[in-house]
Amino acid sequence: MKKKSTALKTALLASGSFAGYNIGSGFATGIEGQQFFASWGNPVAFVVLIIAVITTGLIFIPVYVIGFKKKSDEHYNVYHYYCGHKMGIATDWYMYISILIVILTMMSGAGAAINQYFGIPQMVGTSLLGALCIAAALLDLRRLMRVLSYAGMLIVVFVLGCALYIRFVLGVSLSIPTETIEGYVISGELKRISIMGISNPIFCGIASAGLLVVSSLPWVASTGSLCEDESTAILCGVMSGVIFYAAQGIVVYLNLISMDKIAGAEVPLLAVFQNYLPMLALVYSGIIIIAIFSTVSGRLFLFASRYDKGNRKRHIAISVTIVVFAAVGGTFIPFSLISNILFTVSGCLGILLGTVIIIRTILTKIRSPLK
């Protein structure tokens, strides 16, 4: 009984930190839920979510298991394991470049949220956020996992409570027809993810999981190393996708019930609060900052620990350099534009990497069947 309790606790911590790691500006601003899911209208949006949950489980369960079995502090070795030496090096380099781009996107989202609500320059918000992220990135892995887990759960509970209030107290329902949403897509007020030039809901669900692969593979391998046994690692893989996309489903729902009011907004979820719960708009601006903080700090930790060679001063220098770069770049690049480009490119590459992971796992099972 105690072993099961410990396994569940570990799985909750790992899946909570996975959610916290990925609940960044794309999630908290609502732009990710809008471009991948809500842009397809109801009920297709929720079918796409289910596809994303299944795909995420298929890819991340074996990665958690490998993290548990390898028990390596060098989380980047996961690329070499799945892709071989040469492709592993290339993938490793690309993934860490993509981490820089994600941080840039997050900082842009922070600036956009602060600018949309307060009307102050984006640089102010990105600078303050950057200082907090540098401090968090200096924590060790277990402490950072707890910080990200608590931040992720706080955001999910807050958004869920507000969604329930809007639905059952204010009586707002899913009444906007799909044809209206298609009109917003055609006019350009609503962006939709296209994969290799193909705009398809099934591809969007798979690409959403692919986006998580690109951004989360080193984190999953690292946290998998903290599991006590293989069954716990498998549970982590299942719960990570379920918890993240359950939270994403709430954001998609809020997008769908508010599309006529938020189409064209840089920060759609903040626009939801400004329309339906204006007294909480300021609070949600803070929630967005917490979400971006949790994502940026996790990525800063991975990037700095990858190249600091155990040197604390070098770790700090790398973190500061990245934050300054992202704060400046995020000030001048529109959030909706950079996020759409990032989601599309990373989604495509994530599909390819996810396919490699699944094939490698199947081949390993065939060659070394369980006894």
Instruction: State how many domains the chain has.
Output: 1
Q: Is residue 41 in some structural domain?
A: yes
Task: Collect all residues with Cβ–Cβ distance below 8 Å to 345 and sequence separation of at least 6.
Answer: none
Task: Collect all residues with Cβ–Cβ distance below 8 Å to 77 and sequence separation of at least 6.
Answer: 70, 221
pLDDT-based confidence at 4, cuts 50/70/90? low
For the ranges 84-93, 279-288, 289-298, the maximum mean pLDDT occurs at 279-288
Whether the upstream peptide bond of residue 43 has omega within 30° of 0, thus cis, is: yes
The string of DSSP codes covering 211-242 is HHHHHHHHHHHHHHTT-SSHHHHHHHHHHHHH
Residue 371, pLDDT score: 45
Q: Is residue 173 in some structural domain?
A: yes
Q: Is residue 1 in some structural domain?
A: no
Mean pLDDT of 314-335: 73
Joined together, the tokens standing for residue 270 give 């903040």
3-state secondary structure of 198: strand
CATH number where 30 lies: 1.20.1740.10
Residue 51, pLDDT score: 95
| Domain extent for 43 | 13-362
Q: Is residue 8 in some structural domain?
A: no
Average model confidence (pLDDT) across the chain? 78
Q: Is residue 134 in some structural domain?
A: yes
- 110-151 pLDDT, tens per residue? 666 666 666 666 667 677 767 766 666 566 656 666 766 777
Task: Collect all residues with Cβ–Cβ distance below 8 Å to 246 and sequence separation of at least 6.
Answer: 156
Structure pTM? Answer: 0.78
- Does 199 or 56 have the greater pLDDT score? 56
The answer to whether the CB of 134 falls within 8 A of the CB of 323 is yes
Q: Is residue 368 in some structural domain?
A: no
6-13: Cβ within 8 A, 24+ apart: 6/228, 7/228, 7/229, 7/231, 7/232, 7/235, 8/235, 10/226, 10/227, 10/228, 10/232, 10/236, 11/232, 11/235, 11/236, 11/239, 12/149, 12/239, 13/145, 13/146, 13/149
- Quickly list H helices, the chain: 2-22, 25-28, 31-36, 44-70, 77-83, 85-118, 122-137, 141-168, 178-187, 201-224, 230-257, 259-262, 268-276, 281-307, 312-332, 335-367
- Does 113 or 41 have the greater pLDDT score? 41
Min mean pLDDT across 31-40, 126-135, 150-159 is at 126-135
- Does 299 or 157 have the greater pLDDT score? 157
Residue 320, pLDDT score: 77
- 183-196 pLDDT, tens per residue? 888 887 888 887 66
Q: Is residue 142 in some structural domain?
A: yes
Q: Is residue 2 in some structural domain?
A: no
- Quickly list H helices, 71-84: 77-83
Q: Is the pLDDT of residue 324 over 90?
A: no
